[in-house]
A and B are shown apart, each in its own frame.
Chain A
């Protein structure tokens, strides 16, 4: 259990090996009018792994994720998913929103099945699929509730179930746990790890919490403040077979957290 030690100041992206990249980010730049949000991002995301984009607020994490999702056009550069250049949203990618983006007028069941509804899947079949994912995220019995009847954590479970229901290869999660309280957050992180294990999908995960990133990720991409650039890539290599509470006390885990904090520290000053 040890981390690849990399000196933050002399980071060389070419030294990072990625086998079987399912998503390739090539030279992405993004300007919002006169605001430069992202500059020259080159990244590869490995199939079946969970990669985290970590960085301070406003560094362009959401922007990068939405560019990968095809929701926001890049100013320059391109995104390649499964060998094809991205021109817009596609069925091989699904997005989980920071603010959940649940339809307040629809039940949990309809919200979870919405992606399938848009594709024209018959009601019987999509309800069957939706029910199974509602069960998987631990919301059995809440199928007929409305979003306002659920807690923040439960709402995000609906958002995650909805993304799983369309069976995409790549899941894009934008700070999914930021509106969840600390106790539930830990539970959530463990559930997420279980889902990564079970579903064998590629996860691209955004957070600004260092602990969360180290705990859940196979790889962490550190972004610098505006304009967002890749400042480091770290593979935590945590042994996840151990008990969750032991992991959080493990010296290796704590070392990685400390290392990232040291790397980010000068931005905070």
Chain B
């Protein structure tokens, strides 16, 4: 996000403050980010002061609660616990999902056998199956990791599979014309060409993983951020509860934004059109 975008034309000096403001707004994307944050937080503050509900704290109260939880270390501990099943689950889903997706992309038989299953699993409400996990794996880390995998795996598999099916056929022909082996074709052409879409699938998997880990922590047994939410709700500490919810949404947003940034700046899909 550059401060000055290059495509702004030569502009005459602003005559009025209003014009100056408009100019400023056009040039800086951060202006709009700040403005839209301000709009929502102000609305939140006002709604909290009315108040629209006894269980609706103001924005400033929530911010104070957040600061308190960060200061006393409970927030850090909670994130440490929440991130364990999330990272583990996403990592397993990524390895397994990309491998499965590539196999389905390369083999018509595997496509026939597996694609419908994952199409159903991706469209279906997998959350319904989370309670089942607890029967077999109890309420520990394994159960939560499995919940994450159940939500993250299908989307990663399907994206990887589509990525491989959409590899530039001309590049594959090129590799064949130089007598590349099937192995060389897969590792030197298909996987590098599919990489940006594989990565995009991973990002969607991470988003699904966040949903899964919160579901697990609220449903299976309260730990981590889920515990903060449940506990503060039970003692009617609503500001703390809201702060916990906002923190996990913020954490997921930042994670996804970083992945998105990596995707557009490092994988550079737009530069791949040759």
Contact = CB atoms under 8 A, between A and B. Distances in A.
Contacts of B175: 118
A103 B192 contact: yes
B274 interface: yes
A146 B272 CA distance: 10
Given A103-B189, A104-B271, A89 B176 contact: yes
Contacts of B177: 69-71, 89, 93-95
Interface string A51-91: 00000000000000010011100000000000000001111
A195 interface: no
Nearest to B168: A101
A37 B273 CA distance: 29
Interface centre among A101, A114, A117, by most chain B C-beta atoms within 10 angstroms, is: A101
A100 B274 contact: yes
A106 to B, nearest CB: 8
Interface string B232-274: 0000000000000000000000000000000000000001111
Contacts of A70: 177
B187 to A, nearest CB: 11
Contacts of B30: none
A116 B180 CA distance: 10
A118 B188 contact: yes
Nearest to A159: B174
A96 to B, nearest CB: 9
B173 A71 contact: yes
Given A69-B177, A89-B176, A91-B179, A101 B170 contact: yes
B60 interface: no
Main secondary structure of the interface of A (DSSP, over half): loop
**Most chain A beta-carbon contacts within 10 A, residue among B179, B193, B195, B271:** B179
Interface size class of A (residues with CB under 8 A): 20 to 34
A89 B172 CA distance: 13
Nearest to A103: B171
Contacts of B171: 101, 103
B178 A115 contact: yes
Interface centre among B178, B179, B184, B273 (most CB of A within 10 A): B178
Contacts of A97: 170, 173-174
Nearest to B178: A115
Contacts of B174: 95, 97, 101, 114
Contact of B179 (A102, A105, A118): A118
Contacts of B195: 105
A23 B179 CA distance: 19
A101 B174 CA distance: 6
B213 to A, nearest CB: 33
Contacts of A114: 174, 178
Interface in B171-225: 171, 173-181, 184, 188-189, 192-193, 195
A115 B180 CA distance: 8
Given A100-B274, A104-B271, A89 B179 contact: yes
Given A71-B176, A118-B188, A99 B271 contact: no
B179 A90 contact: yes
A114 B177 CA distance: 11
A155 interface: yes
Nearest to B192: A105
A148 interface: yes
A123 to B, nearest CB: 14
B212 to A, nearest CB: 32
A28 interface: no
A167 to B, nearest CB: 12
A119 B274 contact: no
A125 to B, nearest CB: 16
A153 B136 CA distance: 62
A228 interface: no
Contacts of A103: 171, 189, 192-193
Nearest to A117: B188
Interface string A107-119: 0000000110111
A148 B178 contact: no
A70 B173 CA distance: 10
Contact of A101 (B173, B184, B188): B173
A146 B192 CA distance: 15
Contacts of B188: 117-118
Nearest to B170: A101
Contact of B274 (A91, A102, A166): A102
A225 interface: no
Interface of B: 168, 170-171, 173-181, 184, 188-189, 192-193, 195, 271-274
Given A71-B177, A104-B272, 11 more contacts: A66-B173, A89-B177, A102-B274, A103-B193, A104-B271, A114-B174, A114-B178, A115-B178, A147-B274, A148-B271, A148-B274
12 contacts: A70-B177, A88-B176, A93-B177, A94-B177, A97-B174, A102-B274, A103-B171, A104-B271, A118-B184, A147-B274, A155-B274, A166-B178
